[in-house]
Amino acid sequence: MTATTTLSPPDFAAARRRMIESQLRPSAVSDPVVIAAMAVTQREAFVPQAQAPLAYIDRSVPLGDGRVLNPALSTGLMLTRAELRSDDKVLLVGAGTGYVAALLGGVVASVTAVEDNRLLVDHARTALGGIANVALIESPLTGGHANAAPYDLIIIDGAVDAVPPALIDQLADGGRLITGVNDNGVTRLAMGRKSATAFALLPFADTDIAPLAAFARPKGYSF
C-alpha cells in the first residue's frame, strides 16, 4: 500500500510576519503606519492562485501579460518615503491587481487607482472587495485621471523613463510624486514635490521595480 502525503496549506500570516522582520525592517521600512498596513493586507490575494505560495518572496511575482507584483521592499520603501497622511488624496498609476491600492485605502482619505490592463483590473475588483475609499479606473496609465485632480500624492507603481507632464499637472501645489525611474538599466526610486510650476525628481533608493511599458520613451530610428 502506498502512503498518501497530505500537503499543509501555506501559513500566509506567518509569511507576512517573516516578510516584515526579514525584508522590511532591516531595510529602512520603519514607518509604523506602513508596517501595520503591510502586516494585515493579504498579499496572496493579489496574485494569481498558482502564484500564491510565492506571494511573500523577496522578488517580484508574475501576474500575467508581462506584468508583475513588485517586491514588498520596493513597495514599503515607496510608502515610507511618501509620509502618508490620513487626509491625503492619492492617485495610484499602474494599480495592477490592487495590492498597493489596498494598502493605501486603509491609511489615506481616498485613492484613485488607474490601470489599463483588463485582466489585472478584473483581478483587482475581486481582490479589493469594494473598499469604499478606493476608485478603480480602467484607463491609459500616462493620462492619470484628471477628473479627480488635484492630488496630494501620486504614486506610479513601476519604473518610467520620464513622468508625463499630464501627471505633474494633476499634482496639487506642494504635492509629492513617487515613482521608479529607469537609469541606464538600473532602477531607482525617486520622489519630487511640486512648487507652483516647478517639479524635479530626486532618487532616494536603488531597488528592483519593474518598468511600465506605457512610460517607455519611443525608440529612435536607426540608419
Q: In this predicted structure, what is the pLDDT of residue 17? A: 97
Per residue in 162-182, pLDDT (tens digit) is 999 999 999 999 999 999 999
Q: In this predicted structure, what is the pLDDT of residue 6? A: 47
Place domain 12-213 in its CATH homologous superfamily: Vaccinia Virus protein VP39 (3.40.50.150)
Q: In this predicted structure, what is the pLDDT of residue 197? A: 87
The answer for residues whose C-beta is within 8 angstroms of residue 11's C-beta and 6 or more apart is none
On the question of pLDDT at 223 being above 90, the answer is no
Per residue in 80-101, pLDDT (tens digit) is 999 999 999 999 999 999 999 9
Alpha-carbon distance of 55 to 169, in angstroms, equals 35
- Flag the least confident range among 2-6, 106-110, 122-126: 2-6
- CB of 92 closer than 8 Å to CB of 100: yes
Task: Map residue 20 onto helix, strand or coil.
Answer: helix
On the question of pLDDT at 1 being above 70, the answer is no
Domain boundaries, given as residue ranges, for the chain? 12-213
Alpha-carbon distance of 35 to 208, in angstroms, equals 19
**What percent of the chain clears pLDDT 70, i.e. is strictly above it?**
94
**Per-residue buried b or exposed e for 105-115, using 16+ beta carbons within 10 Å of the residue's own CB:** bbbbebbbbbb
